[in-house]
């Protein structure tokens, strides 16, 4: 994305540690993210965090873990959509979620794809994010 949309700088999107935390190979410096990549990492952290898991912030996270091993039906789709909307509304003030879609990509393996369309609040540019989510326990057996 262009760094200057409508004559404004995306500096309001922030910067922070990369997720997962990594270090550069050459100089052993902490890898950082900024702008759009920082927002995507924030969304990823919110969706992977269980409510009550973060110390001193009991409302942080999405609680998607509660849907593990559930029957894949329309009710589950609606509950996931509601959980994603609510968690991003409460925990990510830099964006406004426009649409959340849930698709059962592989019922046998329990794979669900959550797609999120959102707008950056200060520049009103639209972006999409896809979060892969699995309902079955991951094993390499």
Going from N- to C-terminal start, the domains of the chain cover: 10-134
Whether the per-residue pLDDT at 138 is higher than 70: the answer is no
| pLDDT at residue 53 is higher than 80 | yes
Q: What is the DSSP letter of 19?
A: S
For position 137, what pLDDT does the model report? Answer: 56
Cα–Cα distance, 109 to 97 (Å, whole number): 28
The model's pTM is 0.74
Residue 3 is predicted with a pLDDT of 43
pLDDT of residue 1: 41
3-state helix, strand, coil in the chain (%, to 5): 30, 30, 45
| Residue 1 to residue 95: CA distance in whole angstroms | 16
Asked if pLDDT for residue 48 goes beyond 70, the answer is yes
Mention every residue, 6+ apart, whose C-beta is less than 8 A from residue 72.
Answer: 104, 107, 110, 112, 135
**CATH number belonging to domain 10-134:** 3.10.450.40
Averaged pLDDT for residues 100-115: 92
Position 136 confidence tier, pLDDT thresholds 50, 70, 90: low
Dist. CA 67–CA 131, nearest whole Å: 15
Strand arrangement, sheet containing 126-134: 95-106, 111-120, 126-134
With beta carbons less than 8 A apart as the criterion, state whether 63 and 74 touch.
no
**Lowest-pLDDT choice from 11-15, 92-96, 117-121:** 11-15
């Amino acid at each position: 994305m262009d760094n200057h949309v409508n004559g404004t700088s995306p500096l309001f999107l922030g910067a922070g540690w990369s997720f997962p935390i990594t270090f550069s190979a050459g100089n052993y410096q902490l890898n950082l993210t900024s702008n759009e990549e920082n927002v995507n990492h924030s969304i990823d952290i919110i969706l992977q965090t269980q409510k009550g898991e973060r110390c001193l912030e009991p409302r942080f996270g999405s609680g998607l873990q509660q849907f593990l091993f559930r029957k894949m039906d329309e009710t589950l789709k609606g509950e996931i959509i509601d959980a994603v909307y609510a968690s991003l509304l409460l925990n990510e003030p830099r964006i406004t979620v426009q649409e959340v879609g849930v698709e059962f990509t592989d019922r046998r393996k329990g794979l669900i794809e959550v797609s999120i369309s959102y707008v950056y609040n200060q520049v009103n540019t639209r972006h999409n994010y896809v979060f892969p989510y699995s309902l079955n326990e991951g094993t390499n057996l």
